């Protein structure tokens, strides 16, 4: 068993949790501007301790985004179990975007401007994508959404909403309003031709 395979001692685990909590708070507020020395000071640990756990800011960001992905994957599992297929898709998209509200670091990572933060969580991304694909397929089969909606559309829809959230293009920009507009466009349209 190597040093990296061994479980962390209790004090090391506590330190790691303190670092992740403090870093999560600072990155949520400051995005990429959060600095390692600020994080160490915020969590009350030395810079050396911080670097022993996370040798780079990118490694720390990856750990934070990985935790967030665990949360949104759990949310996706919950959405998949909703009985109504259309409601499942809407709950998934709403919950995914809502998870990033107030978290500048996650917004940047999911917008792709900090793509390196997603390195190392390929398995989590693949699991999430598989759930999204199943939810979309079920919603299409049920006639709840447009039949040309694909799993590749999901990140495009989500990042459009997050860009409104992050960049705030106007004082009236509201991602929830834009979500409603998106969902109205995604829902399957009922034709009246059969009624004539």
* pLDDT tens readout for residues 38-84: 999 999 999 999 999 999 988 888 888 888 888 889 999 999 999 99
Give 39's contacts (C-beta < 8 A, 6+ positions apart). 19, 22, 23, 26, 50, 60
**pLDDT value of residue 173:** 79
* pLDDT tens readout for residues 112-160: 654 555 566 788 889 999 999 999 999 999 999 999 999 999 999 998 9
DSSP for 78-129, written as a single string:
HHHT-SSHHHHHHHHHHHHHHTTTT-HHHHHHHHTTTGGGGTT-HHHHHHHH
**pLDDT value of residue 183:** 96
Percent of the chain scored above 70 by pLDDT?
86
Q: Which domains does the chain have, with CATH numbers?
A: 8-55 (1.10.10.60), 59-188 (1.10.357.10)
């Amino acid at each position: 068993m190597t040093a990296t395979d061994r479980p962390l001692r209790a004090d090391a685990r506590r330190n790691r949790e303190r670092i992740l909590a403090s870093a999560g708070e600072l990155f949520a507020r400051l995005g990429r501007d959060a600095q390692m020395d600020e994080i160490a000071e915020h969590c009350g640990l030395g810079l050396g301790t911080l670097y022993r756990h996370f040798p780079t800011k990118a490694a720390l960001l990856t750990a934070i985004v990985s935790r967030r992905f665990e949360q949104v994957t759990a949310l996706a599992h919950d959405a998949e179990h909703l009985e109504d297929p259309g409601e499942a898709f809407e709950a998934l998209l709403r919950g995914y975007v809502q998870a990033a509200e107030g978290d500048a670091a996650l917004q940047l990572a999911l917008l792709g401007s900090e793509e390196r933060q997603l390195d190392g969580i390929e398995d989590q991304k693949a699991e999430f994508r598989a759930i999204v694909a199943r939810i979309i397929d079920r919603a299409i089969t049920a006639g709840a959404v447009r039949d040309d909606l694909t799993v590749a559309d999901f990140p495009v829809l989500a990042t459009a909403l997050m860009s409104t959230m992050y960049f705030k293009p106007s004082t009236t920009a509201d991602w929830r309003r834009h979500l409603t507009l998106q969902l109205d466009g995604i829902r399957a349209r009922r034709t009246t031709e059969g009624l004539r």
